[in-house]
Structure 1
Amino acid sequence: MKQDFGVFDVHSDLFTNVTLRRQAGETDVIRAHHIRQLRAGNVCAMLCCIWIDPPYTENPPARMVEIMASACAELREAQDIAEAAHSAADIERICAGGKLAILLGMEGLSGLHGRVDFLDVLYAWGVRHAMLTWNEVNAFAHGASCHEDKGLTSLGIKALDRMEELGMLVDVSHANERTFWDVCEHITKPFIASHSNAYALCAHARNLKDDQIKALAARGGVIGMNAWPEFIDGAAPSAERLADHVDHIRDLVGIDHIACGFDFCDYLTSDTLDSFTSSDVVTEGLESAANIPSLFALLRARGYSEEDVEKIAHGNMMRVVKAVIG
């Protein structure tokens, strides 16, 4: 099999697993449970999010700090195999050294309790990305679980302004449709949908409609292809079907706006998964990071060039990182 290009996975809940395992007494979790699969999938960079998982939503700030603390402790132990990145140059340097580059992000800002100025603290801690919401309605925006025609709040607008000033990636993957359009109207830099697919092929609220994909592309952004089964196909999710989503987006806006945002959950505990899904269906052929090369093999078989594959694997996302974060 042809060696694939290094992959930049634009959405991972790695630090949720790290936190749960460390709280149970484990250490060096990345080395023990993750690095082998990531290397098998040729993943060289990841955007790892701080996610307030549903069992902990009663006290979002406390959970945010717990996960950040676990991430810092873990990265100290794993410094020979992984390193936090704060810029595009960092990502390139870390990957060139054979280590995993980790860009820190926020999967929702509920942990801020409406305090926009705390974005400066997150930035100082190394965070370079944020979604305003994880599905829920919070002080900043209305998430994908809200089907009303309500989007950004006044605090949300202030948060976006500060994120642009700081140089943080804005992510709309968990936004509802109104919030998406409000973000599109308000910010000036490229933005991303880190882990969403095409609504035209799978009508799920977490996927983007064609006009949204066109608007995101017009701003220079990318949409990360998501391996979570519910966002691929309601009946038979598979790597082949995810390749159909890639085809659709390429035909709609071109190859330059497609990335990888796999959202693998094979390592999350049943308690965590059961808190937001009742499905035990998996995506055939794309069950974990180790299967990533099979998706690129499918794309090559469909006629995608090596340049196309490289763009999807990491080139498109690196372009956005350079434009927004620097």
Structure 2
Amino acid sequence: MKKWIILGIVAVLVVGAFIVLDVVAKRAANRMNQVHGGAPYTPTKRGAALHSELFIADLHADPLLWNRDLNERSSQGHVDVPRLLEGNVALQIFSVVTKTPKNMNTESNDDTTDDIQLLSFAQRWPPSTWFSLKARALYQAKKLANTVEDSEGRLVFIRTRPELERFLAEREKDPGKVGALLSLEGMQALEGKVEAVDALYDAGFRMLGFAHFFDNEVSGSAHGVKKEGLTELGRAVVKRMEERGMTLDLAHASRKTFEEVLALATRPVVVSHTGVKGTCDNNRNLSDSQLRAIIRNGGMVGIGYWSTATCGKDAKAVARAIRHAVSVAGIDHVGLGSDYDGAVAVPFDTAGLVEVTDALLAEGFGEGEIRKIMGENALRVLRGNLPAQ
């Protein structure tokens, strides 16, 4: 009898601990993913009319990191399927975060701490994810696959060029669909093995970012300690990715990594979510020389919405950053990269993207230019890079 009493007490303590951790995780998600303004959004008539006709693509968002049902509209965070549809988003690239350092900053971080491990405990991820970054990536890929399966056709997983073209044809008839692509933020998830690229490919990943907030076995980060370039493994990864039809993402990459990847790349690269030094000069953002290098490669940059990217807290600041990027890189090389749900505060959630359309009109962009910025440029790159089958 005494043994059962002890076991009962232990069970109650374990359940209580899980409840507390779940509350802590939800509070952290709410605190780190805020919206400055929010609904109701009141666009101009011209902006609303144009926005309803646009093909919109976002190169980077992180909602898979959090324990929300993305098929249900939430008051938390920035992205879910209902809000994507409300914002008229046609393509959303879902990025996967596997490790972030404690006291994360844009200047210098090492890899000795792991806040995502704490989050994996708190959100009750499978034990396999607690100590393996690759397992965390594969778990979040499975989360996206499950969300697609449960979406009643509203969310469509895109892995190949034919799947993209089929989706585009279907969406012409039924705009109540969103295409989903899968991306990785930081190649620490490869765990030092080029073969891991194939495992990620098989799980549906079609874009991989070289680094996040610290240096890894593949490359240096702009926010790492040494900030070096590609390693021998990194060069092998570039080759393997291009063979598989995976897009190279230079967001967060060190300057040396940026240059070395572009010297090797034979296909257009992206910088999925960034700002520009021309309107917001800090270590997170791209210089004009880097923007010009993207032109030569034929790739594109996705301008983000958070204050470190734009030095502002409204859609006008986003439009100013886009204006500068276009003035340097050209209209064919700039798009959107929200960083939604990436532990950032933003002026609007994805349901409020009409704010960007209105701000671009106010900035003096023509309707044809806005179509390119809001999604057509991203579509061009993805069409060229996705595998043929």
**Whole-Å separation in 1 of the counterparts to 2:140 and 2:280:** 32
Task: Give the match for residue 325 of structure 2.
Answer: 249
Distance 1:92 1:307, change over 3 A: farther
Aligned to 2:179: 101
The runs of 5 or more residues in structure 1 that have no matched partner are 22-27
- Whether 1:87 aligns to 2:160 is yes
Q: 1:320 aligns with which of 381, 386, 389?
A: 381
Aligned residue pairs total: 301
When residues 263 and 192 of structure 1 are mapped into structure 2, their CA distance, relative to the original with a 3 A threshold, is: same
Match of 2:116 in 1: 56
Give % identity. Answer: 26
For 1:268-279, what aligned pairs fall within 5 Å after superposition? 273=343
- Partner SS for 2:268: coil
Which of 250, 257, 270 is equivalent to 1:192?
Answer: 270
Code of the residue aligned with 1:219 in structure 2: it is N
For 1:296, which of 330, 334, 357 is the aligned residue? 357
State the shift of 1:92 in Å.
4.2
Partner of 1:65 in structure 2? 138
Q: Name the counterpart of 1:14.
A: 63
Q: CA deviation at 1:244?
A: 0.9
Match of 2:335 in 1: 259
Instruction: Say if 2:320 and 2:363, in contact at 8 Å, map to a contact too.
Output: no
Distance in 2 between residues matched to 1:36 and 1:74, nearest whole Å? 13
Structure 2 counterpart of 1:37, which letter? Answer: R
> In the alignment, residue 47 of structure 1 is paired with which amino acid?
I
Q: Could you report, residue by residue, the CA deviation over 1:66-103 in whole angstroms, capped at 9, with x for unpaired residues?
A: 21222222221114210110134423433514311001
Residues 147 and 176 in structure 1, CA contact (< 8 A), matched pair in contact too: no
Confirm whether residue 171 of structure 1 aligns to residue 249 of structure 2: yes
In structure 2, do the counterparts of structure 1 residues 89 and 14 end up closer, same or farther at CA, with 3 Å as the change threshold?
A: farther
Cα distance, 1:149 vs structure 2 = 5.2
Alignment RMSD = 1.9
- In structure 2, the residue matched to 1:42 is 88
User: 2-side partners of 1:190 and 1:11: how far apart?
Assistant: 17
SS at match of 1:195: strand
Please state how far the C-alpha of 1:192 moved relative to its aligned partner. Answer: 0.6
Residue identity matched to 2:283? A
Tell me how far 1:210 sits from its aligned partner.
0.4
Q: For residue 28 of structure 2, what is the aligned residue in structure 1?
A: none
Structure 1: which amino acid aligns with 2:94? Answer: C
> Retained in 2: the 8 A contact 1:135–1:142?
no
Question: Greater CA deviation, 33-42 or 133-142?
Answer: 33-42
Give the Å deviation of 1:142. Answer: 0.8
Give 3-state SS (helix, strand or coil) of 1:251's partner.
Answer: helix
Distance 1:319-1:64 versus aligned 2 partners, 3 A rule: same
Give 1:29 shift: 3.0
Matched residues in 2 for 1:30 and 1:291: separation? 18
Q: Report the Cα distance in structure 2 between the residues aligned to 1:320 and 1:72, rounded to whole angstroms.
A: 23
Query: Structure 2: 5+ residue runs without aligned partners?
Result: 1-44, 75-79, 101-114, 118-130
Q: Does 2:75 match 1:29?
A: no
Q: Does 1:140 align with 2:213?
A: no
Aligned partners of 2:145 and 2:157 also within 8 Å: no
Distance 2:70 2:363 in 1: 37
Q: Which letter maps to 2:72? A: R
Q: What's 2:11 paired with?
A: none
Number of the residue aligned with 2:239: 161
Taking the aligned partners of 1:260 and 1:223, their CA distance within structure 2 comes to: 8
Q: Hey, which bits of structure 1, 4+ residues long, moved more than 6 A?
A: none
Deviation string for 1:157-183 (max 9, x for gaps)?
Answer: 000010011110000011111111111
For residue 38 of structure 2, what is the aligned residue in structure 1? Answer: none
Amino acid at match of 2:350: A
Q: What letter corresponds to residue 36 of structure 1 in structure 2?
A: P
Query: Aligned partners of 2:301, 2:265: CA distance in 1, in Å?
Result: 17
Instruction: Please state whether the residue corresponding to 2:183 is helix, strand or coil.
Output: strand
